[in-house]
């Protein structure tokens, strides 16, 4: 068994303790962007053309696009807590063009329509960039691309396989280190157009502002308890009232679906993140990173990281933790072992930043499905639409999902609704007590692959053959 670069380079416990000692368990993005204190909780009763459950990116994109298509519709959004507080305010801020969780996953699962999906993803990212400009969203949106870095010798050939000279440009070790200076880098590919960076909290705040300006009614602290169908409408029951809607869109992400038949199609997998204090000018000079590209390494258990407008570094990934029973709980967010591991890996990546402290640490639940890209469903005569399963790549894909759900609710056949990706469903996960051991066995197999030069063993190859292949 081989060791990884993070095991070959020891970081002292005193460095880790100092780095984490002042960190607060709170998503930096949400704290930095603030919340809309003018919103109230829903009470009483109301009727509307479209009700949306969830005010994250999925719900807010659906609200905005619905009002663009149908300005006369009454649109109500019901959010259990605050808009953008969950996955939409806890992610890394990578706005990826891919709708299929990358090229390899897309070609394996949708070989006959991958080119269409690939172009749709690029068009979708272009549309997000256009919306940022049209609505003057102040959200640190930068179309700067991303680096996929090799940090082990066996990963270098993968770079040559991926690079095409246009969408993905091959960089030598010296070339990538001239962009972002880490001694762990052995080479990289650079995709200049496929990724943008964004401040997730500000994006949610600005989307909320635009939705309200378009006439959308948004309510906070308004969890929906039940969904039932009547002949003329869909009834959404809350502790404080009832909303009767002609159409309903569900954007509940990792939380249990209001459509019970789909509750095994996703599981909540926890991802952990650290955010540094702002770097000093000298520290910034030591690492370069003037292009502000996003970075991810190529291991199965990978890290993603990026630099912010005020020169903080977000560093996350690697651990992907599923808890028995598939619950989403605040107590799962404070996992000291994951934060210590991330801190150690951070200083292996950037040893010149030793002494840097982390200001924030947080975690969030990823709505993981077995095909790692969004799935779509309808219910009650296509009066209810549902999208979930983004598996960590939903910042951009939620806009595409909003378009799909609106097509479905309008009852029109479009090129989107005819896609095999939209018409099919992923394999559901087994119920407990089977799900937890299955996930743990898979995680152990992924870890073994990273310690055997990336070679996937019999178990992972079997999952790949069944269309259930997985990395973290």
Residue 195 and residue 193: Cα distance in Å, rounded? 6
Q: What is the DSSP letter of 4?
A: P
Mean pLDDT of 198-227: 98
pLDDT at residue 452 in the model: 84
Kindly report, residue by residue over 233-277, the tens digit of the pLDDT.
999 999 999 999 999 999 999 999 999 999 999 999 999 999 999
Question: What pTM did the predictor assign?
Answer: 0.97
Q: Is pLDDT above 80 for 457?
A: no
Mean pLDDT of 191-202: 98
The set of residues, in sequence order, having a beta carbon less than 8 Å from that of 181 and lying 6+ positions away, is: 286, 287, 288, 289, 352
Kindly report, residue by residue over 79-90, the tens digit of the pLDDT.
999 999 999 999
- Helix, strand, coil fractions of the chain, as percent rounded to 5: 35, 25, 40
Q: What is the DSSP letter of 331?
A: G
């Amino acid at each position: 068994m081989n060791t990884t670069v993070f095991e070959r380079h020891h970081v002292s416990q005193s460095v880790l303790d100092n780095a984490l000692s002042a960190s607060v368990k709170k998503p930096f993005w949400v704290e930095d962007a603030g919340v809309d204190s003018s919103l109230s909780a829903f009470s009483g009763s109301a009727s509307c053309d479209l009700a949306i459950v969830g005010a994250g990116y999925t719900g807010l994109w659906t609200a905005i696009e619905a009002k663009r298509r149908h300005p006369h519709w009454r649109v109500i959004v019901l959010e259990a807590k605050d808009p953008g507080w969950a996955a939409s305010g806890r992610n890394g801020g990578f706005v990826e063009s891919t709708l299929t969780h990358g090229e390899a996953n897309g070609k394996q699962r949708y070989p006959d329509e991958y080119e269409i999906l690939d172009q749709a993803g690029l068009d979708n990212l272009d549309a997000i960039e256009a919306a940022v400009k049209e609505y003057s969203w102040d959200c640190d949106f930068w179309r700067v691309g991303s680096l996929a870095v090799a940090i082990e010798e066996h990963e270098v050939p993968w770079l040559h396989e991926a690079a095409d000279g246009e969408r993905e440009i091959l960089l030598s070790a010296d070339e990538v280190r001239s962009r972002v200076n880490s001694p762990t880098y052995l080479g990289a590919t650079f995709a200049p157009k496929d990724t943008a960076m964004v401040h997730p909290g500000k994006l949610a705040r600005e989307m909320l502002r635009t939705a309200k300006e378009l006439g959308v009614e948004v309510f906070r602290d308004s969890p929906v308890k039940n969904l039932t169908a009547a002949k003329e409408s869909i009834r959404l029951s809350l502790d404080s009232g009832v909303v009767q809607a002609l159409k309903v869109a569900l954007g509940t992400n990792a939380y249990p679906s209001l459509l019970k038949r789909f509750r095994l199609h996703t599981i909540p997998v926890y991802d952990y993140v650290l955010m540094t204090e702002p770097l000093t000018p000298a520290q910034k000079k030591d690492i370069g990173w003037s292009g502000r590209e996003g970075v991810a390494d190529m291991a199965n258990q990978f890290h993603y990281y990026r630099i912010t407008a005020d020169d903080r570094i977000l560093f996350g990934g690697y651990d992907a933790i599923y808890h028995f029973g598939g619950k989403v709980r605040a107590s799962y967010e404070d996992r000291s072992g994951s934060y210590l591991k991330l801190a150690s890996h951070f200083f292996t990546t950037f040893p010149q930043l030793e002494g840097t402290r982390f200001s924030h640490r947080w975690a969030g639940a990823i709505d993981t499905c077995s095909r790692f890209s969004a799935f779509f469903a309808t219910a009650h005569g296509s009066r209810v639409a549902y999208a979930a399963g983004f598996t960590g790549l939903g910042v951009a894909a939620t806009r595409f999902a909003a378009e799909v759900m609106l097509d479905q609710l309008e009852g029109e056949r479009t090129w989107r609704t005819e896609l095999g990706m939209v018409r099919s469903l992923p394999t559901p996960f087994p119920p407990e007590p089977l799900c937890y051991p299955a996930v743990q066995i898979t995680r152990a197999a992924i870890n073994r692959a990273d310690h055997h030069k990336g070679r996937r063993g019999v178990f992972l190859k079997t999952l790949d053959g069944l269309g259930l292949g997985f990395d973290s």
